[in-house]
Amino acid sequence: MGDKGSFWMPESASSLSGEVDALFYLTYWISFVILGAVAVAIAYFAIRYRRRSESYIPPTTKDARILELASIIFPTILVLIVFTWGFKVYLKLNIAPPASYEIQVTASQWKWDFGYPDGTVYAGDLHVPANRPVRLVMNSLDVLHSFFVPQFRIKQDVVPNRYTSVWFEASRADTFDIFCTEYCGAQHSAMLGKVIALPQAEFDEWLAGAGGGGLSPEVYGERLFGQNTCNACHSIDGSRLIGPTMLGLFGSDRALESGESVLADENYLRQSIVAPAEQIAAGFPNQMPPSFGSLPPEQINALIAYIRTLQ
C-alpha cells in the first residue's frame, strides 16, 4: 500500500510528505548537477591550462563581465526558488487547519503521553483518526525532547515550560514510527512509540474503550477555575475585578504594562499562571499569587482549554 520509500527517504504517508520530498529532490538534483558541472570544469581547466614548459608565462587574463554577472545572478535565482518554495511548505507544515483534532502530548524521561479531548491519557502509542488533520500541542515535564515521525516528515522540539505544536494528516490507516530525536538522557534511544492511524469509526471505538469517561478538559478547567478561586479576581463576563476578565482573552492582542503587546495564546496563558510577574497586563496591579506556578501540567492544560471557550 502506498509509497514504499526510496534510497534516501522512508515511505511517505502524510498529506504534506510528498511536498517535502519534492523540495528535497529539487535541491538534491540541483546539487547533483552543480557538483557534476564543477567536477567537469576542474578536469577541463586542469588539462587546458596546464603548465606546458618551465619558461612559459601565461598572458594576463581580462575580466569577463558576462561570466561574473552570470555567476551571481544564476545562483541567486536558484536560491530564491528554493527559499520561496521552502517557505510555502514551511507555512503549510506549521499552520494547522482550524478544524484539526487536538491531542496534548506530554514528553518525559523517557516516554510519550497522549491526552485526548475527552480526558483520556494514553501512554506510549499515539492513536489518531486517519485522513483527518491532527494537531499536537506538546510540552515536556523535564528536559528537551523532540517528536519525530519520519513517514510524515514532521519533527518538532518538545520543551519544558512552553508549548510547541505540530500537525499532520495520516494519508492512510497504518502504523508509523515515533522517535525522540533530541538526546534526553540514558534511555533516549528507547524513547520510541507508534502512530496508530485508524479509520474514524475504529478510532472512536478505540477512544471509547481507552478509559475515557473522564471530564473534558473544558469542563475540568471550569471546575478548577472555581476550586482555585480564579473567579475571585477574574470575571468571565467582561466585568472588571482585581485582574483582567477572561472573556475574549484567548487569541486577543494584550497590551502589557511594559508597553509591549503579546498574543494571548497557550504560551501566554501558561506563563501568566506559572510566572505572572513576567507579563503584567496594562492597567492592572501585579497581584496574581505565585502559588499557581505549582499546578500540575494537566490542570494548567485544562484551565487553558476552559479559558479558550470564553469568547
Residues near ligand CUA (CB under 6 A) are 110, 145, 180, 182-184, 188, 191
Q: How far is the CB of 157 from ligand CUA (least distance, A)?
A: 10
What's the chain's length in residues? 311
Query: Closer CB to ligand CUA, residue 121 or residue 143?
Result: 143
For residue 82, what is the enclosing H or E element?
Answer: helix 65-94
Q: How far is the CB of 137 from ligand CUA (least distance, A)?
A: 17
Query: Closer CB to ligand CUA, residue 142 or residue 205?
Result: 142
Q: How far is the CB of 121 from ligand CUA (least distance, A)?
A: 18
Query: Closer CB to ligand CUA, residue 3 or residue 177?
Result: 177
Instruction: Determine how many CB atoms are found less than 10 A away from the CB of residue 3.
Output: 15
Instruction: Identify the residue whose cell numbers are 486577543.
Output: 252
Query: Closer CB to ligand CUA, residue 178 or residue 249?
Result: 178
Q: Which residues contact 147 (CB under 8 A, 6 or more apart)?
A: 105, 107, 112, 136, 138, 154, 155, 156, 157, 158, 166, 178, 180
Euclidean distance between the first and final Cα of the chain, in Å?
44
Instruction: Determine how many CB atoms are found less than 10 A away from the CB of residue 102.
Output: 17
Q: How far is the CB of 161 from ligand CUA (least distance, A)?
A: 16
Residue 226 phi/psi, 5° resolution?
-80, -45
Residue 119, phi-psi category: left (phi > 0), alpha (psi -120 to 50), beta (remainder):
left
Query: Closer CB to ligand CUA, residue 138 or residue 184?
Result: 184
Q: How far is the CB of 139 from ligand CUA (least distance, A)?
A: 13
